[in-house]
Amino acid sequence: MWHPEKAAFPHAPHSCLFNKIGNEPPMTFPLTHTFPFDPTYGYSREQLLAIAPPPAPPDFDVFWRATFAETASASLRLETRESKVNPPGYTTREVYFDTLNRRRVGAWIMIPTDGKVVRGMVVGHGYGGREAPPWELLLPQTAAIFPSALGFFISAAEGLPSAPARHVIHGIDSRETYLIRDCVASMWSAASALIELCPDAARAISYDGGSFGGGLGALAIPWDARFARAHLAVPTFGHHPIRLQCPCNGSGDAVRVYHQHHPEVIEVLRYFDAATAATRTTIPVLASPALFDPSVPPPGQFAVCNALAGPKKLLIARAGHFPYPEQAAEEKARFEALREWFA
C-alpha cells in the first residue's frame, strides 16, 4: 500500500513541479490509495486557491467567437424519437441535431408534463459518455437537455473514438480539427435544440457539468449570451502547462504522453484551456473543485474556478473521482446547494 504521508513527492518520478507558493511542504492527505503518484500533487488548499490562469493566445477570443458564429449559423436538422426513459412527470424524447462540421449529436430532452417551465438547462457529463439521462437530479419547472458527447453512445459515429484516451487527442494537431472544439460547439447546439423544442426554456438557460462536462462548459459559456448561470464540478482542461506535468489516471494522461512526443501541441492546447476561458466568464457560477483527485489534477480544477470573472461560490470537495468517508454527506450538501443556486 502506498502512503502519501510518507512520500517525498517533489522528488518522485514524474512529479508535478508547480508547487512554488511559499515554503510550505507538500500537503499530506489522510486518504489511503495505491496510485503511484500523489493525487494532491503536493498542493495545499491555500496554494490551490492562489493558482492563476495561463495567458491567452492573442487571438483566443477571435477564435472562439468565430467558432460560435459558425455553429450558430448552421442548420440543426432537428429530429426527435421516442425514448425508452420515461420518468413520471416528464415528457421525454431522444433528440438528434447537427453541430459544428455537421457532426450529429444525440441527446435526451425532458419537459415537465404540466407545461410549467421557468428555466432550461444543458447538462454535460463526464468522460465515458452517458447511456441515459440522470433525471433524478432534475429541478422542478425545468426543461433539460442531456447531450451525449460526440463519439459516445447515441452520438457514436464512424471515425470518432469512444475510448477517452483516444477521444481526447483526436484531431489535436490543429485547433480547427481538434474534436474538443466540436464537443464545445455541441453544447451551444444543445441549447438551440432545447429552445426550439421548448421555447419557454429560453427564459433562463443554465449549464451544469462535471469533469469532462465541466471543462466543456467552461470553454462554452463565455461565448453564448443565452447562458445565465452555471455549475462546474471538478472541471477538466484547466491550465495545460500544469496538467502536462501531472500524471493521472484520467484522459489528461493521454494528452500528457502525446505532448511528450509532440511538444508543439501546446500551441493548440492554449486555445482549449478552460482556465483561460474562465477569465471571460461573467455569469454566476457555482464551482466544485476537489483537493484530491487522481483523474483530474486539482491544480487544473482550481485554476478554472479561481479564474472565473463573475459572481461565484466555491464548494470545495475533499476528493473527486475517488470514494471517501464523507462523500455521501458532501454530495447531499452539494445537491441542496445546486437546487438553491439554480432556483
Is residue 22 pLDDT above 80, yes or no? no
Binned at pLDDT 50, 70 and 90, residue 33 comes out as: very high
**Taking residues 220-231, what's their average pLDDT?**
98
The CATH topology of domain 46-337 is Rossmann fold (3.40.50)
pLDDT digits (tens, 9 = 90+) for 63-77: 999 999 999 999 999
pLDDT digits (tens, 9 = 90+) for 176-185: 999 999 999 9
Q: How many whole angstroms separate alpha carbon 130 and alpha carbon 146?
A: 9
Closest to 147 measured CA to CA, from 194, 203, 211, 214: 194
Beta bridge partners of 80: 95
Q: How many whole angstroms separate alpha carbon 307 and alpha carbon 275?
A: 6
pLDDT digits (tens, 9 = 90+) for 195-214: 999 999 999 999 999 999 99
Q: How many whole angstroms separate alpha carbon 294 and alpha carbon 39?
A: 5
pLDDT at 135 (0 to 100)? 78
**Taking residues 113-118, what's their average pLDDT?**
94
pLDDT at 27 (0 to 100)? 41
pLDDT at 138 (0 to 100)? 83
pLDDT digits (tens, 9 = 90+) for 122-173: 999 999 888 888 877 788 899 999 999 999 999 999 999 999 999 999 999 9
When the pLDDT of each residue in the chain is averaged and rounded to a whole number, the result is 91
Is residue 10 pLDDT above 80, yes or no? no
Is residue 17 pLDDT above 60, yes or no? no
pLDDT digits (tens, 9 = 90+) for 42-58: 999 999 999 999 999 99
Is residue 23 pLDDT above 90, yes or no? no
Neighbours of 305 (CB within 10 A): 29
Is residue 290 pLDDT above 50, yes or no? yes
Closest to 145 measured CA to CA, from 101, 189, 84, 103: 189
Alpha-carbon Rg for the chain, nearest whole angstrom, is 19
- How far separated are the first and last CA of the chain, in Å rounded? 45
- The secondary element (H helix, E strand) that includes residue 313 is strand 312-314
Q: Is the CB of residue 256 less than 8 Å from the CB of residue 237?
A: no
Share of the chain above pLDDT 70, in %: 92
